[in-house]
Amino acid sequence: MKASRLAYLGPEGTFAEEALSSVKTIDVNGLETCSPMRSVQAVISSIEAGTFDYGLVPIENSVDGEVMSTLDALVFATSRCLIREEVILPVSFTSLRRVGDTSPPRVAISHPAALGQCRSYIESRSLEERAVASTAEACRIVAGGSETGLVAIASSRSGLLHGLETAEERIEDFPGASTRFALLSRELSPLAGSENAGSDVKTFFVLTPPEDRTGILADMLKAFSDRGLGLASITSRPLRSALGTYCFLLEVRAGLGSTDLIAAMKELSSLGCAVKYLGTYAAFEGERVTTPFAAGPAGSLPPGDPASVDALASRVLTDRSGD
Amino acid sequence: MARDSRGSGGGGAGAIVLFPGPRGTSDERAISLLRTVEQPEAHPVPVIETVLATVGHTPDSLGLVPLENPLEGELAPVLDRIAFDTANVFIRETVVLVEQMEAFGLAPKPTARTVVSHPFVLALCAPFISRLGLASVTAASTADACRMVRSGGGEGLVAIAPQAVGESFGLVPATNRGLTLPEVRTRYALIGREVCAKTGDDLTLLVITPAADRSGSLETVLHSFSERSLDLTSLRSRPVVAGTTESHCFFIEVRGHVSDVPLREALSELLSQDARLRVLGAYPRWPGMAVMPPYAGLPAASVSRESDADLLAAALHPPAAALAGGERPARRAQARRGGSG
């Protein structure tokens, strides 16, 4: 049997590489190669072109929500890539310095997303920020330079790989954050034909309605709700083809072998929707990616009190209160 | 009492508008596009969180924060902060800044071998960087990139930046052929302690948390809008944890103003269904260009009722068609037709 090749968002030491150890649908240790790639787009292109068999890319994290650049590439620039597994990795950041550099931290180096997620740490120490291409690149710069007072913000594992020592652990603003990765391939996943309709299997579709009219989305969703099919996520994305047109990225809680899902897709087709299938996979067991905030939206109107809308409409137009 | 969109409530002439600094960034340039504030005075603060916190604690204060860009779509960290971390901050205007990127180096005839810019701009330039075999270096901002070039960052170092930024550092356009530089559109939100008054062509941004996380709950929410002919302009689910319960809230932008009767009726109906509701803002619709994904065309490899019958059948009956061979359904259908895909 032909040995398989996997590409992931590199360089070595990234959270993507760390997430490989949680992959279940393929034997990662039995792969011919596990190659770090320079960008998510490079990973996706390599699967699309068939130069690699599998690819691991981030698609969602607690703080930034869906990673739209990854999803856009899958939606608009591929016709063969499928998601065959989702993997969720708890993410924590560490500040790392060169061994022997005992001067107080002065400059924080990392990927902009990591810098943004460690804002309190950076501000409380009045650190200058330097943005670089990845957290692993930050470690490489700190390890290879002679400048003092530099700290890389990255995973502990990345620091270890570059011979750095820990300055401080768990420096993220929101403890408990996590990132969801998609394992891509050109083959259907073993679960693709699952007849399950429930919370343990998900199918990813992109639906493009035939027209932009009031209520088209509600009509589309009715195809699922009439059959008791739940959604795990939904996102609208504008299309450049015409102003005011959209496609919708949906994860439906059902396998592609579910007769209910097939019937729903037929109904959507009869409505004139264009359908793109992006894969069926098991819902990750354990950690979920949720917003980093411990409660729902602040200042929400209380349910069951329709009259409060009038009060709200007045208040948001005339708020003059102090704290 | 509804306020005039140019009147009080922080939008008066000469009002200070906080923005995440430093000066000279796109964020500051976007302030000049505001239509509801006369002669705004831009004032930099360290980070977005400072803008939000200051506006949240200071009546009459205003701030400008980025809301959406082509690469990342809607910026969840900003919208989350407004939705989950503040109860009295509202979006009262949105603007879209459109900037054409250019490549700048040192006079007299710079030729790019390494490009430097903000990571977001570099990501949009990735196709030509790869095609031309250029190296890339990240900078904190396009202004920083120009500063690196100006200070003699090395032969062949070229900054990717808007024209105004490049020229302000005394740099000149690079001479390379094949530099297909992107136009960057960024949507910004003016935030304050109250929404903008109704103009007749408005949008309202809501966060709706249905009473139960079950099949059909979103459809029920949407029905309240569609039966009143209220169009949606964006929708995004966001998973939340309230106590020990996981559920979803929905960020929904709808045409109309929160003070319009049809929208108020829709919101009242949602509350009567025990949904929770937060208004994030009401603002005039931006009449100019919108922020779009960087890809042209429809989602690739979609099938529809107009598609080839084999393709459509395979897409709608995938398990039987595909699992036996472990191939993607559409591919098998194409193979049967002798297509190359």
ipTM of model: 0.90
Mean pLDDT estimate for chain A? 89
The residue assigned the tokens 């690739």 is B300
* Structure confidence at residue A317 (pLDDT): 66
Q: How many CB atoms lie within 10 A of CB B151?
A: 8
Asked, for residue A304, whether it belongs to a domain, the answer is: no
- Chain B residues near residue A264 by CB distance under 8 angstroms: none
The pLDDT value given to residue A295: 79
Span of A91-95, A166-170, A254-258 with lowest mean pLDDT: A254-258
Q: What percent of chain A has pLDDT over 90?
A: 60
A102 residue type, one letter: T
User: Is A32 a domain residue?
Assistant: yes
**Per the structure, how many domains does chain A have?**
3
Q: What is the pLDDT of residues B108-122, one digit of tens each?
A: 888 889 999 988 898
Q: From residue B148, give the alpha-carbon distance in Å to each of A127, B100, B159, B169.
A: 20, 20, 8, 10
Rounded to whole angstroms, the Cα distance separating A257 from A192 reads 7
Contact of B41 with B13, CB cutoff 8 Å: no
d(CA B262, nearest CA chain A) in Å: 12
What pLDDT band is residue A241 in, cutting at 50, 70 and 90?
A: confident
pLDDT confidence tier of residue B244, bands split at 50, 70 and 90? low
pLDDT band at A102 (very low <50, low <70, confident <90, very high): very high
Residue A321: which pLDDT band, with cuts at 50, 70 and 90? very low
Q: Are residues A50 and A183 in the same domain?
A: yes
DSSP state of B326: T
Q: How distant is the Cα of A111 from the closest Cα of chain B, in angstroms?
A: 8
Which chain B residues are closer than 8 Å to A297 by Cβ?
A: 83-84, 207, 209, 240, 249, 276, 278
Output phi, psi for B255, to 5 deg.
-70, 135
pLDDT of residue B337: 35
Q: Are A306 and B305 inside 8 Å of each other by CB?
A: no
B331: confidence class by pLDDT, cuts 50, 70, 90: very low
Residue with tokens 């619709």: B285
Question: By CB neighbour count within 10 A (0-12 exposed, 13-18 middle, 19+ buried), where does B221 fall?
Answer: buried
**Residue A7 Cα distances to A71, A303, B112, angstroms:** 17, 48, 29
- Half-sphere exposure in the Cβ direction for A265 (13 Å, CA): 29
Could you tell me the pLDDT band of residue B315, with boundaries at 50, 70 and 90? low
Model pLDDT for residues A123-141, shown as the tens digit of each residue: 999 999 888 878 888 999 9
Distance CA B272, CA B274 (A): 5
My answer on whether A160 and A237 are in the same domain is: no
Give the residue numbers spanning the domain of A238. Answer: 189-284
Do A181 and A85 fall into the same domain?
Answer: yes
Which range is least confidently modeled, A97-106, A175-184, A231-240, A285-294?
Answer: A285-294
What confidence category does residue A318 fall into, taking pLDDT thresholds of 50, 70 and 90?
Answer: low
Going by C-alpha positions, the residue among B57, B67, B303 that lies closest to residue B185 is B67
Within a domain: A295 = no
| CA distance to partner chain A, nearest, from residue B239 (Å) | 5
In 10 A of CB B177, how many CB atoms?
A: 6
Q: Which range among A210-219, A232-241, B95-104 shows the weakest confidence by mean pLDDT?
A: A210-219
Amino acid at A248: F
The answer as to whether A239 is a domain residue is: yes
Residues A195 and A277 in one domain: yes
Please give the full DSSP string across A198-254, using - where no structure is assigned: SSSEEEEEEEE-SS--TTHHHHHHHHHHTTTPPEEEEEEEE-TTSTT-EEEEEEESS
Domain identity same for A83 and A183: yes
pLDDT at B325 over 70: no
Judge whether A158 lies within some domain: yes
Helix, strand or coil, per DSSP, at residue A70: helix
CATH number of B99-184: 3.40.190.10
Q: Let me know whether A182 and A121 are in one domain.
A: no
A33 forms beta bridges with A5
| Residue B309 pLDDT > 80 | no
Q: Which of A112, A277, A249 is nearest to B318 (CA)?
A: A277
Q: Are residues A275 and A198 in the same domain?
A: yes
Distance between CA atoms of A235 and B136, rounded to whole angstroms?
A: 32
If pLDDT is split at 50, 70 and 90, which confidence band does A243 have? Answer: low
Chain B residues with CB under 8 Å of A9 CB are none
Tell me the count of A-B CB pairs closer than 8 A.
Answer: 326
Of A79, A235, A303, the CB nearest to B300: A79
DSSP B133-187: T-EEEE-SSHHHHHHHHHTT--TTEEEEEEHHHHHHTT-EE---S---PPEEEEE
Q: Which residues does chain B have within 8 Å of residue A132's beta carbon, measured at their own beta carbons?
A: 138
CATH 3.40.190.10-classified regions of chain B: 99-184
Give the end of a domain, one of A268, A284, A300: A284
| CA dist., res. A20 & res. A56, Å (int) | 8
- What is the per-residue pLDDT for B243? 66
Mean pLDDT, range B63-74, rounded to an integer: 95
Please, are residues B66 and B188 in contact by the beta-carbon 8 Å criterion? yes
Percent of chain B with pLDDT over 70: 84
Single residue among A116, A138, A168 that ends a domain in this structure: A168
Q: Looking at the domain assignment, is residue A134 inside a domain? A: yes
Q: Which residue has the tokens 């992006």?
A: A278
Cα A215 → chain centroid? 29
HSE toward the beta carbon, residue B142, CA cutoff 13 A: 26
Best CA proximity match to B248, nearest among A88, A235, A215: A235
Most confident of A300-304, A317-321, B179-183: B179-183
B231 chain-A contacts, CB cut-off 8 A: 214
- pLDDT tens digit sequence for B206-236: 999 998 888 888 999 999 999 999 999 999 9
Within chain B, all domains assigned CATH 3.30.70.260 are found at 198-297
- Flag whether A153 is in a domain: yes
Candidates B238, B244, B274, B311, partner chain A, best to mutate (most A CBs within 10 A):
B238
Distance CA A45, CA A280 (A): 20
Least confident of A2-11, A150-159, B97-106: A2-11
Instruction: Specify the pLDDT at position A232.
Output: 93
* A183, two tokens: 């394992």
Instruction: State the smallest CA–CA distance between residue A304 and chain B in angstroms.
Output: 5
Q: pLDDT higher for A133 or B142?
A: B142
Which of the four pLDDT bands, split at 50, 70 and 90, describes residue B295? confident
A61 and A182 co-located in one domain:
yes
Residues A65, A161 within the same domain? no
d(CA B224, CA B228): 7
Residue B320: the pLDDT is: 40
CATH of domain B198-297: 3.30.70.260
A81 and A230 fall within a common domain: no
Q: Which residues have CB under 8 Å from A88's CB, separation 6+?
A: A22, A178, A179, A180, A181, A284, A286, A287, A288, A289
Rounded distance between C-alpha atoms, residue B314 and residue B330, angstroms: 6
Confidence check: pLDDT of B7 > 50:
no
Q: Which residue from A287, A281, A288 is spatially nearest to A81, judged by alpha carbons?
A: A281
From A128, A153, A187, the end of a domain falls on: A187
> Does residue A322 lie within any of the structural domains?
no
Residue B239: CB atoms within 10 A of its CB come to 18
Phi-psi region of B274 (alpha: psi -120 to 50; beta: other; left: phi over 0): left
CA angle A158, A162, A164 (to 5 degrees): 90
Q: Residue A5 is part of a domain; what is its CATH number?
A: 3.40.190.10
